[in-house]
Structure 1
Amino acid sequence: MAQQAYMTETAGGGSGPERRGARLRRLWGRLAASWRGDPRIWRRGIFTAAVAVLLAVVMLAHAHIPNAVGNLGSLTETFLPWLGLLVPALLVAALVRRSATALIAVLLPAVVWLNLFGGLLTDKAAAGGDLTVATHNVNADNADPAGTARAVAASGADVVALEELTAAAVPTYEKALEPTYRYHSVQGTVGLWSKYPLSGVRAVDIKLGWTRAMRAAVATPAGQVAVYVAHLPSVRVKLEAGFTARQRDKSADALGEAIADEPLTRVVLLGDLNGTMNDRALNAVTSQLRSTQGAAGHGFGFSWPASFPMARIDQILVRGVEPESSWSLPQTGSDHLPLAARVRVATSGS
């Protein structure tokens, strides 16, 4: 029986993967032969090719899309990675139309997307680091604040930032986090919990009329780190007004000014910025700091909405410290996912 099975496999052209490879080669050969005999392959699919070129231009020149009408530029940049989903759709259209012109054109957006986001697909996490930080927009309507607090504390973070705190829920968070974090401060609707002493704690004015940002110096064993916690205003997409983000943009500029004036060289920003690293409206902040996800994460690290994350609007940004790893935490009772990162504070010169 074994010999018969062996002879059958040999007669069939080898093992399963080899047979599948042979079938694919034969299929591609027949497809190529049919295309070679068709003089219309260069004339068909012009519309598909035009869409592919337009998609490549939008991704490549997104910074030049004007914000004058409905903040269209910022809206495009917020969901920029998702434009890559159009590439396989255009590829299928080119194959269905049997268009060589469209196939070549589809290569353009594919190359542009890989140039923009290909680096995020590799795992850049390292094992080092001496400080773990976490941030979470806990949602004002969270039905289980105690459970949310315990979940974030279970991450092992040394420093935890919480946003969208309500006055009624603050005592619950304080009680749940007290066993793990000896030091904490709540300023308005944001709070910072730390295993290490805090100093220089103050609210940061981001031009809202109430407090949604704060700053504190954390005395880590490797040296002082200025930690900022911020919750920038929400943005809205409206049919009549487009992407409305004027207040968010104004607050981002104010936060950028505060960070620029920070006297400490080591800075960590934790919070819900209601914008992505691609959004030009956050340049006042993102031009000064680097993303831990981009430097030491794996994938896009989308954080909102928690049920089906589509954008990373929660951020962990740093300056003067080295990101070692960055990751998302499991979903809690919030509509955002918590984020965590491990950074190296100590340097060869410290």
Structure 2
Amino acid sequence: MPELATPFNSNGFCVGHFRPSSNRRGRIGTIVKTLLALTMLTIAASAQLGRIFPILDPLNALTPVILAMAVVICIFSFRHQHLAFAIAVLAALCSVERVAQVSVETGQLAIPADPGITVLSFNAWRHQHSPKETARAIAVSGADIVLLQEAGPMLNQADMMLKTAYPFQSDCPMGCDLAILSRLPVRDFRYRIRGDDGRFVGPRIVFADIDDASVMGPITVASIHVDRGNSPAGNRRQLDKSLDEMFTLMGKENLIIGGDFNMTPYSFDFERMDQAMLPIRRVSAGDRSYPSQIAGLPTIPLFAIDHIYASRRWRAAKISVGPGFHSDHRPIAVRLFESSLNPSH
């Protein structure tokens, strides 16, 4: 008698029931990967248009995330989901250009006998709830020079521990929330720069002239806070113009400048500012400083918007700083050595 066809295999499982389910999962996976790849491509392409339309430039902050997700999609789709793979490749190509252009001259150097100077930049956050604890965290940070933004609430605490650690402190006029703290003697503090017509030039900034930080002569350090601005296009033009005017008046040769620039290294605005800064260059690298908390809960910072620049007389070694600063930014710090004192040169 001939054997009847059965929907069950030799192990007793119903083949007809599971094959459609497996195929359905495969189709859903293909659709999900394709939609994710399309989303990544849309964001990456829109970010590229930030070169022409400033309102789209902030999307470049997501460039590393887009590139990483595009690579993951490529890995899991190159064998079977060819459309998703092709779209992900295009998204990666759009993103890699912005990542590749970010180059920073920094690194862990051979430490010379000279101790160098440690510079810390920190947006202390005007809305924070623990200003005294923040002041004491800065006091024990070990930095020689501290460049502060949104520092008003913290400095209003008049903490003696901070005053003892940093006897030289700027006294910014009423309404100014920038500050410089220094262990080293400061010859003079200056606030903003006035052009020939008497108007303030450049973004909000405070300067300190320090004589004893270098055997090669005096240096100028500056704390800066670049506003986001209500109009990306207007803010871009104003920043370009104001930086040029400011550097024309004060020069750059002996300058160390740090602060909250509100720009990631992947943006076109940052690229233009980087060119305006030459020959000084960014010496803080890989410092994702924002946000360090959301709604009072600690987070892993995703964006590098706080930076330190220095003239080419300095080489930098990145150093880490501990927790306890109670801000929505993390501080960034570098140890600077004069090139002539670096044994690797």
Counterpart in the other structure of 1:172: 157
Distance, in Å, in 1 between the alignment partners of 2:305 and 2:40 is: 29
1:1-350, aligned counterparts within 5 Å?
51=38, 54=41, 58=45, 62=48, 65-67=51-53, 71-72=55-56, 74-91=57-74, 94-95=77-78, 98-99=80-81, 103=85, 106=88, 110=92, 117=99, 124-128=107-111, 130-166=116-152, 169-172=154-157, 175-187=160-172, 188-205=176-193, 212-219=204-211, 220-222=213-215, 223-234=217-228, 244=232, 246-247=234-235, 250-251=238-239, 253-263=241-251, 265-283=253-271, 285-287=273-275, 288=277, 289-294=280-285, 300-306=286-292, 307-331=299-323, 332-345=325-338, 347=340
Runs of 4+ off more than 4 Å: 44-57, 100-116, 118-121, 205-211
1:290 maps to a residue whose letter is: R
SS at match of 1:179: helix
Counterparts in 2 of 1:46 and 1:169: CA distance versus 1, 3 Å: closer
Distance, in Å, in 1 between the alignment partners of 2:36 and 2:179 is: 51
Q: When the two structures are superposed, what TM-score results if normalisation uses the length of structure 2?
A: 0.68
Distance, in Å, in 1 between the alignment partners of 2:65 and 2:236 is: 23
Give aligned pairs, total: 289
Counterpart in the other structure of 2:13: none
What is the alpha-carbon root mean square deviation over aligned residues? 4.1
Unaligned runs of 5+ in 2: 1-30, 293-298
Q: When the two structures are superposed, what TM-score results if normalisation uses the length of structure 1?
A: 0.67
Deviation sequence 1:279-332 (CA, Å, 0-9, x none): 3334564212322134xxxxx321111123121111111223333222453342
Contact 2:124 2:154 survives alignment (8 Å): no
Counterparts in 2 of 1:146 and 1:274: CA distance versus 1, 3 Å: same
2:145 maps to a residue whose letter is: V
Contact 1:91 1:103 survives alignment (8 Å): yes
Contact 1:137 1:338 survives alignment (8 Å): yes
Distance, in Å, in 1 between the alignment partners of 2:89 and 2:125 is: 42
Distance, in Å, in 2 between the alignment partners of 1:312 and 1:81 is: 11
Unaligned runs of 5+ in 1: 1-43, 237-242, 295-299
Distance, in Å, in 2 between the alignment partners of 1:334 and 1:266 is: 30
Distance, in Å, in 2 between the alignment partners of 1:286 and 1:213 is: 17
Counterparts in 2 of 1:52 and 1:286: CA distance versus 1, 3 Å: same
Counterparts in 2 of 1:195 and 1:171: CA distance versus 1, 3 Å: same
TM superposition shift of 1:274: 1.1
Contact 1:208 1:251 survives alignment (8 Å): no
Distance, in Å, in 2 between the alignment partners of 1:211 and 1:176 is: 31
Distance, in Å, in 1 between the alignment partners of 2:187 and 2:335 is: 22
Counterparts in 2 of 1:200 and 1:116: CA distance versus 1, 3 Å: same
2:326 maps to a residue whose letter is: G
Distance, in Å, in 2 between the alignment partners of 1:291 and 1:181 is: 25
TM superposition shift of 1:158: 0.7
Counterpart in the other structure of 2:296: none
Distance, in Å, in 1 between the alignment partners of 2:229 and 2:62 is: 14
Q: Which moved more, 1:333-342 or 1:168-177?
A: 168-177
Contact 1:135 1:271 survives alignment (8 Å): yes
